[in-house]
Structure 1
Amino acid sequence: MSGKPKITITLVGRKGERGCHRGHRVGDSFDFDTERGKLCPMAMHVAFPYVDILRYGGSVPGSGDPNVCLFCCPDVDVINVFRIERNAG
């Protein structure tokens, strides 16, 4: 990869019974560099280590795709499932 890769965080599923207290809906997508302030701080807290791994050339074990990983928000009432994608910069 040349330059800094683009990181996109997309809400891809929901496992909890209640709606997101931040108002996120499945399909919402955020550019890490320009829109991370729009993402729920609890979800961002979980996402950040994965973003760092992908941004600096690593891959998340078990993901199956070296440019993608999934994580869940820590709100047990909501349990939003997010996908982080690394794209060439």
Structure 2
Amino acid sequence: MSKRPKIKITLVDRKGPCACHRGHRIGDVFDYDEDRGKLCPMAMHVAFPYIDILRYGGTLPPCKEGDFRFCCSDVDVINVFRIEKIDD
């Protein structure tokens, strides 16, 4: 069985008027395997389907910046995260 690729999640922007309730700030980086429990559960809920797609051979459509991004579901915060598959 081949090793699953690492998944890196980086907070790159905030669109909402309020600060993150979990204290996340632009520039925070999370390793999916190493940092479980550190990423806000609301953001993790949105991220998980994308993580599954990347880990099992799928691809995600790039946004205008050329990478893939998703937002947390908290309408007051709207943190924007970049997700990347890191191949060893």
2:24 counterpart residue number: 24
Q: How many residues align?
A: 84
Deviation at 1:6, TM superposition (A): 0.9
4+ long deviations beyond 6 Å? none
Q: Gaps (5+ residues) in structure 1?
A: none
Gaps of 5+ in 2: none
Give the match for residue 41 of structure 1.
41
TM-score, normalised on structure 1?
0.88
Question: 1:50 touches 1:69 (CA, 8 Å); kept in 2?
Answer: no
Root mean square deviation, CA, Å: 1.3
Secondary structure in structure 2 of the residue aligned to 1:36: coil
Q: Report the TM-score, using the length of structure 2 for normalisation.
A: 0.89
Q: CA deviation at 1:3?
A: 2.7
Q: What is the SS of the residue equivalent to 1:37?
A: coil
Which structure 2 residues correspond to residues 1-89 of structure 1 after superposition, within 5 A?
3-61=3-61, 63=62, 68-89=67-88
